[in-house]
Amino acid sequence: MPIDNALYVRPPASPLVEATLGLVQELVRDRLRTSGRAWDDFTLAGADDLLTREDFAAIEARLLASGHRFDWSASISVAERPDAYKPADDVAGGAAGFTHPEAPSGEADEQGRALRGVGDNVVQHAGDVSGIARYIRSNDRVLAYLTDGVPPGTIAVIDDSGGTLTAPIIEQFAGVICAGGTVRSHLGILTREYNIPCLMNAKVAGISDGDRVMIEASAPAKTTEDYQEGVERVGRVWLLAGEGA
């Protein structure tokens, strides 16, 4: 192929990316050769006919046959395709919620706020935001909220860092606590656009569905440089003592 002799001034990508790229290039070379077409004709007119969805499904199958399992950005992926994704401790997303062992915790302060976790703040807001924690990690719950509406004041507690599961209802959230991703993940971008306070890569424990919580949305936002330099910059999550749904 014309790109075979291109010089790449970069280190190798991850083993998964390199393996996928190699399999795709192998497929394209084979189809180009058997098509008998010139490269320009193949890429501009023939590729859509000669490279099919089934071809790329076969590439995925080869990766899985090697023993590889994909990382997931939403536990719903594990529930729907356990053969393709790394297992999760809790794919049901019940009312008990997350129990991250690294989540900091503390007793209630004079304002009745008990520390229950931290996360990377997407945008620094003028003030903190409080509401009712609701775990949204299943299709059934999203469909129910699409039908009946998201209850006002909902702080969505999710692991859907790509926003795939929750995008249809995200604008109705008062805030988001996401156990995954970074401030540059798709969910972070969506919450920024909708001006919704959001903590990404959150580590929380001791928050049940229906608890009243507060997000430290006024904390400084995490930056790309913070990730690159290993700077710890977080917003806190508090359980509001004595309050519930």
**29 pLDDT exceeds 70?**
yes
Specify the residue for token string 């990404």: 200
DSSP-derived 3-state class of residue 28: helix
**3-state percent helix, strand, coil for the chain, nearest multiple of 5:** 35, 20, 45
Predicted pLDDT of residue 92: 41
Number of H helices, E strands in the chain: 8, 7
DSSP-derived 3-state class of residue 88: coil
* Residue 154 vs residues 53, 100, 213: alpha-carbon distances, Å: 39, 21, 10
pLDDT digits (tens, 9 = 90+) for 157-194: 998 888 888 999 999 999 999 998 899 999 999 999 99
Contact indicator for 194, 170 with CB cutoff of 8 Å = yes
In this structure, the strands spanning 235-244 and 211-215 are antiparallel
Domains within the chain, CATH numbers bracketed = 2-68 (no CATH), 113-244 (3.50.30.10)
Q: Taking residues 92-109, what's their average pLDDT?
A: 80
Q: Taking residues 98-114, what's their average pLDDT?
A: 93
Percent above pLDDT 90 for the chain:
57
**206 pLDDT exceeds 60?**
yes
Q: Taking residues 21-26, what's their average pLDDT?
A: 90
The encoded tokens of residue 141 equal 């719950």
Q: Give the Cα separation of 190 and 124 in Å (integer).
A: 15
pLDDT digits (tens, 9 = 90+) for 35-76: 888 888 888 776 667 888 999 999 999 999 999 888 776 777
Name which of 49-53, 116-120, 151-155 the model is least confident about: 49-53
**6 pLDDT exceeds 70?**
no
Element (H, E) at 244: strand 235-244
Q: Give the Cα separation of 199 and 116 in Å (integer).
A: 13
Mean pLDDT taken over the chain: 87
* Residue 194 vs residues 123, 143, 169, 236: alpha-carbon distances, Å: 11, 21, 11, 21
pTM: 0.74
Predicted pLDDT of residue 138: 85
